[in-house]
Amino acid sequence: MTIFDAIILGIVEGVTEYLPVSSTGHLILAGSMLGLGKDEHGADMASIKESLDQFEIIIQGGAILAVAGLYWKRLRTMGQGCVGVARPRLATEESKVGFALLLKLVIAFIPAAVIGLIFRKTIKAHFFFPGPVVVALLVGGLAMVLLKSWNQKKIQQDYEPGDALARLTIKGALIIGMMQVLALMPGTSRSLVTLLGGMLVGLPPVAAAEFAFLLGLPTLGAASLYESLSVIKGGSESIQQFIAALGGPLPILVGLVTATVSAAISVKWLVKWLGSHTLAVFGWWRIVVAGSFAWAVYAGWIARS
């Protein structure tokens, strides 16, 4: 992997992680177009491909850093809420709201975490292939296009003034969490299902996006940490092989930095967009990407399995 490759993958990860377009599908396409994981004859190299897959998950840490930086005030109030629970005399109204939000995030995180942990190997064995990814991209795209009118009503709906996330119920958080289970299917998009889940339980589109961003912290963090530990657990030899397969430590650092910057820009843009636009444009984009993905498989750029 070159520095250029790392920059491209970092941008793709950062831009698509929080947009409802599926970062997995875009990273697979980008890696294939860059010829990563193949030798000079175009044959797959299993060891390098495995390191590339781990790299793509690890650089999600950049997307985590971006949201943590943009929403540090929310995170601070959640931290204060934990302190308020441990020491009630230090609790304030703000800290109570922060702890309540933290509790809702934990509840929303649990379903996908449990299902993912139990069925991780099965999902990877049966769905991490071009066919399921293309289907998920297409179905998600069609859903956003078909739901355009409903989405527009959500934008125009009058909501009570104040913090919408503070009014989110435990039941609503659980429903969003159950929706997030769908994102275990590669190509579905965690951002898409959590956005739709948030609007389904009554959140304004912008608030639904904010909850999706915050929910991404433990979700992406767990996946990124798991892959990092899987490399570290192999010992110094495993770490050296991982770094060597990616062309040294610099591409990893560049990928993380690029993903952080591009994710921050993407998040700020999406929040502004959702204030007055529907998700339909992302639906059409997914349909185009699904077609491109299918063509890439047909042309032999991406292996069928």
Asked whether residue 305 is assigned to any structural domain, the reply reads no
Name residues whose C-beta falls within 8 Å of residue 142's C-beta, 6 or more positions apart in sequence.
Answer: 283, 287
Query: How many structural domains compose the chain?
Result: 1
Q: How large is the average pLDDT for residues 253-270? A: 95
Domain span at residue 74 reads 3-299
| Residue 304 within a domain | no
Tokens representing 145 are 């296009």
Question: What are the counts of helices (DSSP H) followed by strands (DSSP E) for the chain?
Answer: 14, 0
Span 5-45, pLDDT tens digits: 999 999 999 999 999 998 877 887 788 778 776 555 444 45
User: Residue 305 has what pLDDT?
Assistant: 61
Can you read off the two tokens belonging to residue 44? 């797959």
Tell me, yes or no, whether 41 lies in a domain.
Answer: yes
Among the residue ranges 35-49, 167-181, 228-242, the one predicted with the least confidence is: 35-49
How far apart (Å, rounded) are the C-alpha atoms in residues 106 and 85?
A: 16
**pTM score, whole prediction:** 0.88
* CB contact at 8 A, 252 and 246: yes
Comparison of pLDDT for 90 and 15, the residue scoring more: 15
For 18, counting Cβ atoms within 10 Å of its Cβ (0-12 exposed, 13-18 middle, 19+ buried), the class is buried
Residue 235 confidence (pLDDT) above 90: no
